[in-house]
Structures are given as structure tokens and as C-alpha cells.
Structure 1
């Protein structure tokens, strides 16, 4: 009998698929979902939009999702038009299409870890070589650091993440501009958590007008609370969108997905009202954990990275034993927690305090207490 593994691409053998635990727990704060359910008015708007297309499901959807892209352009502002926006099934498909078009065999993508773990995975799946420029000791990223990494690796694609996952740290515009100026290829700024930033107006979208090789990716999974709908999108020069048409699968975005996203966009104000509540809980987590003597990365996202643990996996398990699921990203001594509702945040903080009290040996209070900025 043929060994399937022997037929697999050599660069994929031995690798494990991406995945976060999906466990039935009382408090799930591990995947950076929006903790708030859709408001009834928004849910009803989505239902109306979906109902309008159900009768035509025997026909293929608009393969270029023109109406949805127009709505997304209006949401982003900055004088963008439908020609500046592209949409797909989640931002991961957006990233995949970008690497299919601008990466691939014989080409290199550069990232700065710790960052979004799907960047190197998608690079690998498209046959793109991955280079790691690493982040600085405080999880920050300076223009000088980025320029040096680009000079060393000469990448075809550069990934920046702002706010960065899993650290939550945001980038200054000068870092993004430095990357575009230093790189001969494409620069992709992953802004999945942009709406949660302390200064959301500093989005890289405002830099697009002057930089043709810059791409800004977004999602409706986080601030819009549509993780189950799978809708990601990007903003870029129209020539970038034209290039993606060469690699996108025909009719890749279903009529139902397009309708659901358009319905949600009619309730933008109601949906984004939860962002302020989540920011409050995020800042509460940061302040409380720091008061407990643990290092915490300054976060502009809807999650918090905290450290000071001698055995982070053991702390993760102790929290799970108390009904609280957070994320172990594999960063030694650090764990990440999503900012949830007030009650979920209270449950997490109480569980963490209990673990510190009962199992002080799992924490290393003599470790560095530097705060990331």
C-alpha cells in the first residue's frame, strides 16, 4: 500500500496544521473573538440581506463581489473606491492570494516574530521561502531594525502586523514607510485588530495614496463580531487587485457571505460600540496583572500578552482547570488572553490570582519586568 506521506511535498512532511483548542469551557478567551453577540437589529439586517439572495442560489455569485467591495471602501474612507478593495473568505485567504500572486517558489517572504503564526504557514503552503527578522527585546519594531532585516534578506514580500499578534503592540507610520522604501517588493500590513487601537486613525490605509506597493489587510471577524461568517478584505492600489484576479478561484466568495457582510456593514455603528467596552476590559487586564507584579505588553488590540511565568504551559493548564481557556502561543514564559466581557474578564483575573496564590512556583517574579511598548 502506498504511504501517503511519501507522496506529500517534501517541504510539508512532518509539519502540523494550525489550530487553537476548541474546548467546551465556561470562559473561552483564547482566539481573540469578539465576546459580544450581534445586536438584534444587526442580526435582523443580515437576515434580510441573506433572504434577498436565497432564491437565487441556483446561480453563481458575483465573482468580483463589487457591491460588497464598494461598501467596504465606504467604511474605510480615505477616498478609496471599489477598485482599491478586494474581499475573500477571511483574511487568511486574502494573505494566501497575495502570496500566490507575489510570492511562490524562488521567492522570499520576511516577517518579524513573534507575530501572527499563519504568516509563515501560508508562506510555506504557497512554496514561498520564509525569513525571520525577529522583533526587538521589548517586542517593538523600529525603522532601523526593519531596514536592516530587509537589507539582509532582500525579500519579495514583507509582513508587518499592527497591532501585532500575539503582543498587541502597534507600529508607528515611520516603520511602515521605511519598509516600503527599503523593500523592492510588496509590503503587507496586517491590521486585523485595527479598530481596537488607541489611535485607530493612524491606520496604514492613510499611507496607500503615496505607496503603490503597500497592502493593508483587514477582517470582519474581530471588531465586527463576524468570525463565523469568514470575511476578510484588503485595501491597495488598483493594480494589486488586478493581480489578485489572476490567482483567485472563480466565484470564491458565496452569495450568502457577501450578503451577510453587507448586512453587517449597515450596522457598523452598533457593532463598533462593543469596541469601547472591550478596550476597557483590555486596559483593566493590563493594569491588574501589572499590579500583581507580572510583565505585560502594552496592547492596542483586543487581547493581552503577559509573562513572568517559570512554566507557562502549567499555568495555562491550571487556568483551564478553573474553567478559563486562554492561549499558549509557545512563547516561553508568556501567555495571551482575549479581553472579553466584564464578567469573563473578572473570571480570568480571579483564576489567575488563585493560580498565583496556590502555585507560586509556576511564576518567576525575578524575571525581567520590562514592559513592551
Structure 2
């Protein structure tokens, strides 16, 4: 161990940082980005918004990002049918920063965070990075199923008495959505907990899938986090947000860095929200390729998990690591998420979909040979 490595906090020694491979390949389907570029009309609007801000970059940005919060609140209301005020919205540089703000405020040394794995890998990383004890909860008693067992979730919440509980709907990496009764039961069973419902992929959910935003009234400890990275094809901007009780968002000010959202980020996000319908026009196309990916994988004898996200968790690989490498050798990059016999594949364009299914056909034929 080097001298510097020996000085880092003991609980961080030996850890490896988060990071998905960024490789130059013909078909990159490993990080759930949108494969569709930002529409030219929105590019023009963004350029105009940035130009308007450029002369005033000598000044700090609006610390309260009021205009952005108003637009985010209007968007959430319109897309969920649930009234949300600007005062109920908080935003940050990607939903990871928003989640970090939550854990900074309600986690920390001597406190506990609980999640139900497999789920989003950043939940424990963020929690432990702030000194919070992480508890890996079980989604169900059957390891072959990925739905959250409500009775088991309640049992674990009561046993561990966490300060923060993470739920994910649609869940990453399984793509499965939660029944809102699970959220309600966990909330009721955890009277001392902040309950976070991570809805990063909510716009891709199948019809009839409700949002936990509808549960916010009367539940001051409930928070719903979202992002513009996925459905808005805005991963490069880094803009995430949450909706919660107004007292909750007010407490976020205690842990945010000064002027944490730049003037440029605010302007770009507002321009995109002003063109939300155009930005979201590709969502239905992605949902179609996702469903076609499920059907195509089933036809190959694989076992895809029904998905409400922009990706599919595919099971049935004899050796997932070898299959991952075989796909990469054919120019297709997918994600090994650490679940035996499974790989996660982002739904891309129709051409990318065809390429990954062609590569999977060769790989599965090789496994069965």
C-alpha cells in the first residue's frame, strides 16, 4: 500500500470506483443512454439559451434555480397527473448528486441505509461514501425472481430500522416496476426512515404503471427522484431532480454546495423542458425496440425479464462473462451487472437492435454447440 493510499479513510481502502466501460465500438448498449441525438430544433434552442447566458457568466447562477424548478414541476404534473409545486422540487448535477444530497442530510456515520438488491449500484456507493452503513436487503426469498416481496421488505425494514430506504421503480438492472402498495407498506413500516423511490426510468414504463409521485401528499418522509439523462436523451448534461414535501426540499439547502447548478446547466435544461414533447418523441420508439428485444431474445432461447425501462435484463447465458466478451468481439458492448447467467442490454435504434440480436444468435449457437 502506498503512503497516500494508507492515509485514505479506512472504510474506503481497497475499494474500486464506479465505472462502466467506455469503449469505441460500433454498438454501445451498456449504459442505458439514448441512442438518439438531440433534435436539431432543440439544439438551436439550447444554443440560443447558452448564448443569452454567456455575457453574464461573470455572475453566479441563480442559487435557487427558480425557473428550472418551475419547469420541472410543470413537467412532473403534466406527465404524472399529480400536482407538484416548484417548492417541492429539488435538482442537481445528475440524479446521483440529488441522491447524495439526500444521504448527506439523512445518512452519515452511525446511520443505516437499506436497499433491496440487485438494484442500482450507486445507492450503496453513495451511502458508504458518506460513512453510512449499508444493508443489502433481499428482494424476495426466491433468488430467481426480481420483484420485491412486500412482506419480506417490511420484515427487513423493521429488523434494521434504517434511516434511509431505497426503492427503485423501474428497477435497475432488472427493469421491473414496483406496485405502489409496496411503497406504502415500506413507508408505514419505517416511521423513522426517509423512503427514496428512484424513478430514473419512469417515462419508459408500460401503460398503467403509476408513479410514486401520487403518494407524496401526507407523506413528508417520501421522496421521488428522477433524471433527464434517459428519456430526454440528456445524459451529457447531468440534470437530475426530486419531488418531495416542501420541508424536505428546504433541508437539501443544508448540504448542497454553493451555486451547485451552473447558469449554463439551468439554461440548457429549461430549453429542453420547453420542448419536452419533441425531446420525448423517441421514448415510444425505444419502448418498441425494447419489446422487440425481449421477443427476439425469447426466440433465441434466452430468458429476458419483462421490462418497464429502456433496457432488458437477459438471462439464460451459461457463462455471462464469456458471453459478454463474445459480444464485444463482435462489436456489441452490453453490461455485465454481476448477476449469474444474466447480461443487461440497452434498447437502442432498430439497427442496433438487429445488430445485438444477430450477435446474440451467434453467441447462443456457440454456447449450445
TM-score w.r.t. the length of structure 1 is: 0.95
Q: Following the alignment from structure 2 to structure 1, what is the Cα–Cα distance between the partners of residues 196 and 90?
A: 14
Aligned: 1:92 with 2:100: no
Residue ranges of structure 1 left out of the alignment (5+ in a row): 362-373
1:312-348 residue CA offsets vs partner (Å, 9 max, x unmatched): 0100000000000000011111100000000000000
SS of match in other structure, 2:281: helix
Q: How does 1:1-373 map to 2 (within 5 A)?
A: 3-77=3-77, 78-136=82-140, 137=143, 138-183=145-190, 184-199=192-207, 202-360=210-368
SS of match in other structure, 1:202: coil
Q: Which runs of 4+ in 1 moved over 6 A?
A: none
Query: Offset at 1:188?
Result: 0.2
Q: Following the alignment from structure 2 to structure 1, what is the Cα–Cα distance between the partners of residues 322 and 209?
A: 39
1:128-148 residue CA offsets vs partner (Å, 9 max, x unmatched): 000111212310003212101
TM-score w.r.t. the length of structure 2 is: 0.96
Q: Following the alignment from structure 1 to structure 2, what is the Cα–Cα distance between the partners of residues 94 and 75?
A: 18
Q: Following the alignment from structure 1 to structure 2, what is the Cα–Cα distance between the partners of residues 49 and 214?
A: 34
Q: Following the alignment from structure 2 to structure 1, what is the Cα–Cα distance between the partners of residues 178 and 159?
A: 21
CA RMSD of aligned residues (A): 1.2
Q: Following the alignment from structure 2 to structure 1, what is the Cα–Cα distance between the partners of residues 15 and 52?
A: 43
Q: Following the alignment from structure 2 to structure 1, what is the Cα–Cα distance between the partners of residues 268 and 59?
A: 17
Q: Following the alignment from structure 1 to structure 2, what is the Cα–Cα distance between the partners of residues 206 and 239?
A: 18
Query: Offset at 1:38?
Result: 0.7
Between the two proteins, the alignment pairs up a number of residues equal to 361
Residue ranges of structure 2 left out of the alignment (5+ in a row): none
1:103-127 residue CA offsets vs partner (Å, 9 max, x unmatched): 0011000000000000000001110
Does the CA contact (< 8 Å) of 1:194 and 1:200 recur in 2? Answer: no
* Cα separation, partners in 2 of 1:301 and 1:200, compared to 1, 3 Å: farther
Q: Following the alignment from structure 2 to structure 1, what is the Cα–Cα distance between the partners of residues 368 and 328?
A: 17
